[in-house]
Amino acid sequence: MTKILSQEEIDSLLTSVSSGDDAEIQPRKSAGKISLYDFKRPNLISKDQMRLLENIHEGLARNFGVYLSAQLRMIVDMNLLAIDQIMYSEFVMSIVSPGAIYVGDFSDPQSKFVLEVSPQLVVFIVERLFGGKGHLIPMVRPISVIEQRIMNRVVERISSEISKNWEPLRQFDTDVNRFESNPEFVQIVSASEPVIVVSMEAKIHNNTSMMNICYPYRWISSILSSPEIQEKVLFGASEGTQNEKQTLMKSVAVTPVDVKAVLGKGKISIDDFMNLSAGDVILLDGRTKEKISVFAENRLICTASMGQTNQNNAIRIHNVITGDEGHEKRRLQHKIK
């Protein structure tokens, strides 16, 4: 609605105009922080979901780097560079032809994915597997049929690592069943559909090479939007299942532990220490028939007596120490010292 000025306000305006005084310009109030938003390409992955994807593929990059280091007999450093949401047409246009493109299938939910490996990295891996020195070629050339067959074992390992690192969220099988050198022949979704591209970098001899995994957004959304995954994202992981506990116990059961038996302790002066020579005898505080202390990772676990078996030194355990009893004995030992 238009405001009606009073006679006094009209006279004041006429006076300021006739005198030539500039009206006071009110400073424009700040509109606050402005963030850009692309309506053509909205962000479909939330920050919490993005962190979940980062954790999955950081483990994938680490495990595959360890595998490559063992196979190539040299240090290969694999790092996660970025996770981007783009159109599938943009991903296809970013691939250099001829390339090394592998198309695979997910079993649950059913979908396809694309693994794109730098041709220079493929040639380097094949050369190292055949016992050569290995070098990253500057020029891109087509991958031969023999090189494709040699790389199948490496690609199968990447495929298994994908399913392994996704296992905490969803168990599925992966199968790489097609190789293409021309990106135009690779069509897993329509050109206008969004995809999630995971970019990883392989560092070898101060040289870098790239590897990309392309997931259809529909496939990732079907997993991350499920109620149980949303609960994990919002409230963290729940208590482990019985199978997870059994798997963890099996891994812990085969972990090696350093065990040492202490015959006794003694004290000598600095002068005696400086003049030690072969044949000298150091008196310990323990008796020959006394039980000795046995430690695992510097923690007192039992007492035992010395003996021999099969011409090797051995100990016979007499008393297993657990819980507060072991803590109290260690405390008394430190107090006596």
Please write the tens of the pLDDT for every residue from 135-185: 777 777 889 999 999 999 999 999 999 999 998 888 899 999 999 999 999
- Same-domain pairing of 227 and 180: yes
Q: Are 102 and 114 in contact (CB under 8 A)?
A: yes
- Same-domain pairing of 209 and 263: no
Backbone CA torsion sign across 19, 20, 26, 27: negative
Distance in angstroms (rounded) separating the CA atoms of residues 91 and 85: 10
Q: For the purposes of burial, counting CB atoms within 10 Å of the CB of 337, is it exposed (0-12), middle (13-18) or buried (19 or more)?
A: exposed
- Same-domain pairing of 297 and 152: no
- pTM for this one? 0.59
Whether residue 5 lies inside any domain: the answer is: no
Residue 337: its pLDDT value, please?
Answer: 47
- Same-domain pairing of 291 and 321: yes
Whether residue 99 lies inside any domain: the answer is: yes
- Same-domain pairing of 123 and 199: yes
Whether residue 19 lies inside any domain: the answer is: no
SS3 (DSSP) at 138: coil
Q: What is the mean pLDDT of residues 221-225?
A: 86
Here the CATH number for the domain that contains residue 112 is 3.40.1550.10
- Same-domain pairing of 233 and 291: no
Distance in angstroms (rounded) separating the CA atoms of residues 324 and 128: 55
Write out the residue range of the structural domain in which residue 313 sits: 259-268+284-336
Whether residue 195 lies inside any domain: the answer is: yes
Q: What is the mean pLDDT of residues 207-231?
A: 86
- Same-domain pairing of 263 and 208: no
- Same-domain pairing of 263 and 234: no
Whether residue 278 lies inside any domain: the answer is: no
- Same-domain pairing of 227 and 304: no
SS3 (DSSP) at 326: helix
Whether residue 264 lies inside any domain: the answer is: yes
Residue 20: its pLDDT value, please?
Answer: 56
How far is the CA of 293 from the CAs of 233, 238, 321, in angstroms?
Answer: 48, 41, 10
Higher pLDDT, 95 or 231: 95
Res 26 pLDDT > 60: no
What confidence tier does 290 reach under pLDDT thresholds 50, 70, 90?
A: confident
Contacts 24+ apart (CB under 8 A), 150-159: 150/125, 150/126, 151/100, 151/117, 151/122, 151/125, 151/126, 152/176, 154/68, 154/71, 154/125, 155/102, 155/115, 155/117, 157/64, 157/67, 158/64, 158/115, 159/104, 159/115
Distance in angstroms (rounded) separating the CA atoms of residues 135 and 121: 9
Res 125 pLDDT > 60: yes
Residue 16: its pLDDT value, please?
Answer: 72
Here the CATH number for the domain that contains residue 323 is 2.30.330.10
Supply 208's token pair: 């870098």
Identity of the amino acid at 2: T
- Same-domain pairing of 205 and 291: no
Res 76 pLDDT > 80: yes
How far is the CA of 162 from the CAs of 22, 63, 169, 252, in angstroms?
Answer: 70, 10, 12, 24
DSSP labels for 259-308?
EEEE-------HHHHHT--TT-----SS-TTS-EEEEETTEEEEEEEEEE
Whether residue 10 lies inside any domain: the answer is: no
Identity of the amino acid at 157: R
Whether residue 75 lies inside any domain: the answer is: yes
- Same-domain pairing of 124 and 160: yes
Residue 325: its pLDDT value, please?
Answer: 57
Please write the tens of the pLDDT for every residue from 28-71: 555 567 777 666 667 788 888 888 899 999 999 999 999 999 99
DSSP labels for 183-227?
GGG--SS-TTSEEEEEEEEEEETTEEEEEEEEEEHHHHHHHHTSH
Q: For the purposes of burial, counting CB atoms within 10 Å of the CB of 71, is it exposed (0-12), middle (13-18) or buried (19 or more)?
A: middle
- Same-domain pairing of 104 and 218: yes
Number of structural domains (the chain) is 2
Q: For the purposes of burial, counting CB atoms within 10 Å of the CB of 102, is it exposed (0-12), middle (13-18) or buried (19 or more)?
A: buried
Res 114 pLDDT > 90: yes
Q: What is the mean pLDDT of the chain?
A: 82
What confidence tier does 207 reach under pLDDT thresholds 50, 70, 90?
A: confident
Residue 336: its pLDDT value, please?
Answer: 44
